[in-house]
Amino acid sequence: MPLLPLRVLVLEDHAFQRSVAVRMLQALGCGEVFEARDGAQALAVLQAVGPVDVALCDLQMEGMDGLEFLQHVGATGQVKAIIISSSLSAELRRVVHQMVALLGLELLGDVGKPLPMQGLAELLKKPLDRLATPQCPTTSVTLASEEAVRGALAEQQLQAWYQPKFNLHTAEVCGVEVLCRWMHPTQGVISPAQFITVLERYGLLDELLFSQLDQALNLRRRAAAQGFALNMAFNLQAVQLASGELTSTIKAMLARHNTCGSNLTFELTESGLLEAPATSLKSLVRLRMMGCRLSIDDFGTGFSSLQRLCQLPFNEIKLDGGFVRTVEHEARCRAVISSTLALGKSLGMSVVIEGIETEAQRQQLLALGCTLGQGYWYARPMSGEDFLRWLQPRDESQIRP
């Protein structure tokens, strides 16, 4: 077997299991394999031999356990990647997975116990593939200048794009989320990551919102002429609620477009609402008094209390797409989705599931009782003209683009 250019440290307190792991790694061709019975000895080994590519790490052991070891190497950078091998429950190992990510370590996988040779071999391919592939230097996102963003707003280059929401049972369009794309005349489509922060920094979020409202309400009128009465959902930052002119401007725009507030939904992330001041609450109430719907976006990712949820005048929950990605094989994610559906029903709030990308996910969500969804399985965000063409009558069996 060819020699693999990997340095691997085995951290395991059970002598026999440790020797099995060492022999298995050697049989797989790892160039250097080191071993330690607990975290303290593992740190001493690293001090003596230098950094390693992979640590095969048990979690529960006498002396320094695997958790403390991970915290040490996360701070020192002596280990590039981690493979978890533990007999702890899947529930606790999932929490450790999150801890590994927060420590800045790469988690190659979790092989459990007893150690499977084929599974271990598959995980070791990941760092080998990385070594074999030329790595491009990572670059941070370059923010656009204030002048460029102001110019884009003035020249209407910040265009509203639309991603449909749909009924999971019938595949009927029941609304759209209005997103933003910068259509630059020479650079093409510019990522929102390059300009949304700039808009927030210089107090331009309201100007963007009003521009999107104008574009979207014009599009809604055209869609209505095709027989589609759509609710248009807009992202709203909690900081915008403090503006005394927000609700009066929205009310004036509704009058100008001869439409009512029930055709609009405003989506706010829950993290920004944890300590909403009185002025923000006043804006939320006024939006509801105008008939607008209010949605808590990315529900489940922030730290708002359920008591806060009851206090605020929302009538929709958008469950974060992270729960959907693992719905097929994570019982806890299915439980969270079911509980959120029950919570929404008891509070009189509709629940929209984000991030649906596969038919298998849709079927699983249907089995859990979900009705409303959004995601690439159904449609990706598209420009206004593309959206109107997409709405044209079509065979329901070919509903996805």
Q: Which long-range contacts (C-beta less than 8 Å, at least 24 apart) are formed by 243-247?
A: 243/206, 243/283, 244/279, 245/206, 246/206, 246/283, 247/283, 247/286, 247/287, 247/290
Beta-carbon contacts of 209 under 8 Å, excluding residues fewer than 6 positions away, are 234, 236, 240
Interstrand relation of 30-36 and 79-84 (parallel, antiparallel or unpaired)? unpaired
Distance CA 65, CA 99 (A): 14
Catalytic residue flag (residue 354): yes
**Enclosing H/E stretch for 107:** strand 106-110
Distance CA 181, CA 286 (A): 29
Considering the candidates 68, 354, 359, 385, report the single residue annotated as catalytic.
354
Distance CA 84, CA 82 (A): 6
In order, the DSSP letters of 13-68 are: SSHHHHHHHHHHHHHTTEEEEEEESSHHHHHHHHHHH--EEEEEE----SSS-HHH
Distance CA 137, CA 135 (A): 6
Q: Report in angstroms the alpha-carbon separations of 302 from 104, 274, 343.
A: 21, 9, 17
Q: Report in angstroms the alpha-carbon separations of 227 from 143, 161, 173, 231.
A: 41, 20, 12, 13
Q: Which residues does the annotation mark as catalytic?
A: 354
